[in-house]
């Protein structure tokens, strides 16, 4: 289901306790103009942006199930005119609503402590404010981009990552870690074998360790896999995923792998996924492919047409 309009109004149309996972990437503060009045991301100060996100997330609590999760993707920016960017080729997006917008953007009002060229720290300001508002902050996942936009900078390192925060309403929540296990990249584990017997006979162990493990293997678990999970290893909190483009959109889109991992870990088949800032509709595409229902909210009617086009052409895996 796609709702077109301002998220703070449209969220009221979503049923209470009906959503298993919220997966979204709201407009980043001061980085682009979505050409709509009252849009989030155009606030004078980052603290205003933080308050708007926290206020909206308070409404998420009504629609999210008690064992649900909230996956929030945010990027950072620099303080000052042009969003702290002084070149047309050093940004996330090179288009009229991204780079061209920042080139003409005036400096924000004077801030009590942020100075021109300061990294603002918006993602963590939001995460800690959500924590203070009652959310459990469970993970800071680093989205590491092997193909980031180039930055013409000579007084700092080029940015190549964003944050994905995993939050929950309760201490215990639904999380299927086995659905997103990483494959083992080597045939043997660090001890030189995949079974207890192989480990016991490994040349990498000292003689005393070999003897102890050999005795244990012979008595108890000969031939059994000694890895914690033979199907794969627990996924780490750094995700190396390329940025993505969609031919029908003139802005950067969510790589499919990000909502795919969040959906698999945070929901079961048949559950409902909510993306309150749907953009190009990648979350909806992946939800459908993975056998989930979805609700999307999008402010821009132009983007809504892209979502409709994309979701009308997909098939379930």
Positions of E strands within the chain: 2-4, 19-24, 64-74, 136-144, 161-168, 238-240, 272-275, 293-298
What is the C-alpha separation between 222 and 214, in angstroms, rounded?
A: 9
What is the C-alpha separation between 297 and 281, in angstroms, rounded?
A: 10
Mean of the pLDDT values across residues 256-276? 97
In b/e form, how buried is each residue of 277-296, taking b as 16+ CB within 10 angstroms? bbbbbbbbbbbbbbebbbbb
- Compute the mean pLDDT over every residue in the chain, rounded to the nearest whole number: 80
pLDDT in tens, 274-308: 999 988 789 999 999 999 999 999 887 777 677 77
pLDDT in tens, 65-95: 999 999 999 999 898 876 554 443 433 444 4
pLDDT at 236 over 90: yes
Q: Report CA 298 to chain centroid distance, whole Å.
A: 18
pLDDT at 60 (0 to 100): 97
For the chain, what are the domain ranges? 2-182+234-311, 184-231
What is the C-alpha separation between 219 and 200, in angstroms, rounded?
A: 12
Q: Who contacts 45 (Cβ-Cβ below 8 Å, separation ≥6)?
A: 108, 109, 111
pLDDT in tens, 182-196: 987 655 444 444 555
CATH 3.40.1190.20 is the classification of domain 2-182+234-311:
no
Helix (H, G, I), strand (E, B) or coil at 72: strand
Does 128 or 225 have the greater pLDDT score?
128
What is the C-alpha separation between 88 and 251, in angstroms, rounded?
A: 15
Give one DSSP letter per residue of 214-262, joined into a string: HHHIIIIITT-B-SS-TT-BPPPSEEE---B--TT-SS-B--THHHHHH
> Which tokens in the block code for residue 125?
């300001």
Please give the model's pTM, rounded to 2 decimal places: 0.81
What is the C-alpha separation between 85 and 151, in angstroms, rounded?
A: 9
Give yes or no for a contact between 174 and 265, defined as CB atoms under 8 angstroms apart.
Answer: no
pLDDT at 105 (0 to 100): 56
> Which tokens in the block code for residue 165?
């925060």
What is the C-alpha separation between 217 and 221, in angstroms, rounded?
A: 5
> Which tokens in the block code for residue 302?
């132009």
Structure confidence at residue 244 as a pLDDT band (50, 70, 90): confident
What is the C-alpha separation between 60 and 14, in angstroms, rounded?
A: 10
């Amino acid at each position: 289901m796609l709702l077109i309009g301002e998220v703070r109004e449209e969220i009221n149309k979503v049923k209470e306790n009906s959503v298993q996972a919220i997966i979204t990437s709201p407009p980043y503060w001061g980085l682009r103009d979505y050409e709509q009045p009252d849009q989030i991301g155009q606030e004078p100060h980052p603290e205003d942006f933080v308050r708007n996100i926290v206020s909206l997330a308070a409404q998420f609590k009504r629609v999210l199930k008690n064992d649900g999760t909230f996956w929030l993707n945010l990027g950072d920016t620099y303080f000052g005119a042009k969003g702290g960017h002084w070149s047309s080729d050093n940004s996330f997006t090179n288009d009229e609503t991204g780079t061209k917008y920042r080139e003409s953007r005036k400096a924000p009002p004077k801030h009590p402590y942020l100075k021109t060229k300061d990294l603002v720290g918006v993602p963590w300001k939001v995460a800690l404010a959500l924590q203070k508002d009652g959310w459990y902050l469970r993970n800071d996942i680093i989205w590491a981009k092997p193909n980031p936009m180039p930055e013409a900078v000579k007084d700092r390192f080029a940015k190549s990552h964003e944050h994905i925060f995993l939050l929950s309403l309760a201490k215990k929540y639904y999380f299927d870690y086995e659905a997103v296990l990483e494959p083992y990249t080597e045939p043997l584990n660090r001890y030189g074998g995949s079974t207890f017997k192989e480990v016991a006979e490994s040349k990498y162990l000292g003689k005393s360790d070999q003897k102890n493990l050999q005795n244990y293997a012979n008595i108890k678990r000969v031939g059994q896999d000694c890895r914690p999970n033979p199907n794969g290893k627990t996924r780490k909190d750094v995700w190396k995923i390329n940025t993505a483009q969609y031919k029908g959109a003139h802005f950067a889109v969510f790589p499919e792998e990000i909502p795919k991992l969040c959906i698999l870990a945070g929901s079961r088949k048949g559950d409902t996924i909510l993306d309150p800032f749907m953009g190009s509709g990648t979350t909806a595409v992946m939800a459908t492919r993975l056998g989930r229902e979805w609700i999307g909210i999008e402010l821009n009617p132009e983007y809504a047409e892209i979502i409709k086009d994309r979701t009308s052409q997909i098939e379930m895996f």
